[in-house]
Structure 1
């Protein structure tokens, strides 16, 4: 971490939305980066996502566990090469559980995916018959010109907290409200190694990446650009195979 006059401290951005700076140390960042590079290779590798209208998203993406494409999930890279989606590794689910536990100060032995965030009036739960474990990863790669518009992560059938991990260049992360893509929102600078968790009443909050700051990645990481690893609980029943699972709204 760069020397600073005042170290960055964890902050609650909204009820159930917590920013934990420098959660991943340098070694953990390098390990996650190497994993991302392997996941990005074909088959079912890094691809450009296109909206139903044909517009290309500027951030490129690879998925694990379930393949997301606007606005659904499948077990194959349906909008890519059609290959089976890469498996979601158990260690990544364990990382997500630890992240939620740290963000919400959850006592040992408590399931993070079903925990009610501080200040939240809504419990996090999954629908009957669904898996309580984290089982989806969306890995987004941003170059210096990439950005992500205001959207909600609304295509899952679970309201378990979303876990977001940042690697590489810093970015402006805009965290909004659950009703509109406009104000009120809060802009947070996310840096390499930062953790951001949102659940409870903030689970369906709109959020965006309006700007990436090129050249701000840690020198020893070896990454040009920004990677965001987003971990989610699908809430889908087992045994869907390659079936398309429709979401409720754009993500």
Structure 2
């Protein structure tokens, strides 16, 4: 019953905006189909290995630029040496529409306007029921343009912290399938993470029967 009740757009902190149910079911299905294609390559989805030897529990595939801690490159030297799939123009438009939706009531919250926002990379993370994401900042980009985040599949607990520390104060919210979340302006570099995924909450109509897809669009600020 609760899924039928519209949830309001909420500014969790200045520039950190949650827009529930932003993606339609059709858009979610299209994104799931696209992500399945990208997951097969040219650089396939993988568990990223961290510099100290640990392995991330989420699986990641990248578009436009390849991310590995803590840098972006055009080719995936830590996987198969191939160039990652291109960042499609239609995702640029999707990112611009997302900013318009998030900052409609707070247009000064971002460091750019929707018309000038031009993401050039996406990190696509897949969470199974046991995957987690520790508190971290998205700061490998040279640009302070907002990060646009889209959720599909299982609902997760999303923890929004502060810019100084991984610990409290933080706010926990739930991100459900179709939700949009934007980190920009004063909240561009807040620590954030995913401490829990609620297994079995995905709607099969999205094309994803289990697990959670998280698509984050960013502006690297890198040339070429």
SS at match of 1:60: strand
Matches within 5 A, 1:133-172: 133-172=118-157
CA RMSD of aligned residues (A): 1.7
**Distance in 2 between the 1:5 and 1:34 partners?**
25
- State the TM-score, normalizing by the size of structure 2: 0.94
Structure 2: runs of 5 or more not aligned: none
**Distance in 2 between the 1:196 and 1:40 partners?**
23
SS at match of 1:139: strand
Structure 1: runs of 5 or more not aligned: 108-114, 118-122, 126-130, 239-251
**Displacement of 1:194:** 0.2
- State the TM-score, normalizing by the size of structure 1: 0.84
- Which residue number corresponds to residue 180 of structure 1? 165
**Displacement of 1:200:** 0.5
**Distance in 1 between the 2:147 and 2:134 partners?**
18
Asked if 1 retains the 8 angstrom alpha-carbon contact of 2:41 and 2:84, the reply is no
- Which residue number corresponds to residue 244 of structure 1? none
- Which residue number corresponds to residue 124 of structure 1? 111
**Distance in 2 between the 1:42 and 1:87 partners?**
11
Partner residue of 2:211 out of 216, 225, 233: 225
- Which residue number corresponds to residue 236 of structure 1? 222
Structure 1 runs, 4 residues or longer, greater than 6 Å off = none
**Displacement of 1:106:** 7.4
1:22 aligns with 2:21: yes
Aligned residues: 220
- Which residue number corresponds to residue 175 of structure 2? 190
- Which residue number corresponds to residue 45 of structure 2? 46
1:76 aligns with 2:75: yes
| More strand, by proportion | 2
